[in-house]
Amino acid sequence: MNPRLESILEAIIAEYIETAEPVGSLTLSEKYRFPYSPATIRACMAVLEEDGYISQPHTSAGRIPTEKGYRYFVDMIKHEEEELQQREERMIQRRLNQQNTRTERLVDMAAMTLADMTGNVGVVSYADTLYSHGLSNLFRQPEFLIDPSNVLRVAEVLDRLDELIREIPRVPETTVYIGSESPIGKSSGCSLVVSSFVRPELDRGYLLVLGPTRMFYPRTIAVIDEVKSLLEVVT
């Protein structure tokens, strides 16, 4: 994909993540100040749609990213390390450093931090126990308010999460599964960001963030990586 198409796809994804509304060429032209004419932007959007990176929902004039579009975006940002603001790093550090008396409390706070910092569901699997927070975050998302059937599909995943989590491939680095790529709940319309961590008293634990495909992937990855690094050093 050439740089022009990349920049327009990235803008469409950023705008859709922020608004949950289909994105039109006029919005891109006015808000993102591209050095291209609206006609050129529309032509680029047509190419992106033809190639399967964006789609047109119903009769809307705007476009939304497809799973293929999100996958291209995630693979692209892997080369650009997202950094949390210093105050956010300090907040995560303060939360976890205060929980050093009991590992169970530390892990529970890690799950709560994942949920609070990403606005999605945060889960930590540790010693055959699941700690999860943020279900209300997920169900406040427009995808679930507009289509209640999405709630049922996600609820089924969460009800079986302790069983399904065993199906997640054991990868050492943070991995993003978008929509139907997910090893669990393929039809739930959600994405999954997963990483593992190691502590002295156990072989390995897992960190997960479950959210809509419209989640802000760079931030989610950065939060998981920060929590992981702290879990591995806090004693």
Q: CA separation (Å) from 100 to 97, 219, 227, 233?
A: 6, 26, 14, 10
List, in order of start, the domains of the chain with CATH numbers. Answer: 3-77 (1.10.10.10), 86-231 (3.30.450.40)
pLDDT in tens, 212-229: 899 999 999 999 999 999
pLDDT recorded at residue 114: 97
Confidence of residue 99 (pLDDT cuts 50, 70, 90): low
Q: Phi and psi dihedrals of 148, rounded to 5? A: -60, -20
Is the model's pLDDT at 81 over the cut of 70? no
Classify burial at 164, counting beta carbons within 10 Å of its beta carbon; exposed 0-12, middle 13-18, buried 19 or more.
middle
What is the average per-residue pLDDT within 178-192?
A: 78
Confidence of residue 169 (pLDDT cuts 50, 70, 90): confident
Contact 191, 178 (CB under 8 A): yes
What is the average per-residue pLDDT within 135-159?
A: 80
Is the model's pLDDT at 43 over the cut of 90? yes
pLDDT recorded at residue 232: 85
Is beta strand 121-126 parallel, antiparallel or unpaired with respect to 202-212?
antiparallel
Cα–Cα dist 188/54, whole Å: 20
Q: Which residue has the higher pLDDT, 170 or 30?
A: 30
Residue that has been written with the tokens 């126990």 in this structure: 129
Confidence of residue 199 (pLDDT cuts 50, 70, 90): confident
Confidence of residue 76 (pLDDT cuts 50, 70, 90): confident
Cα–Cα dist 69/51, whole Å: 9
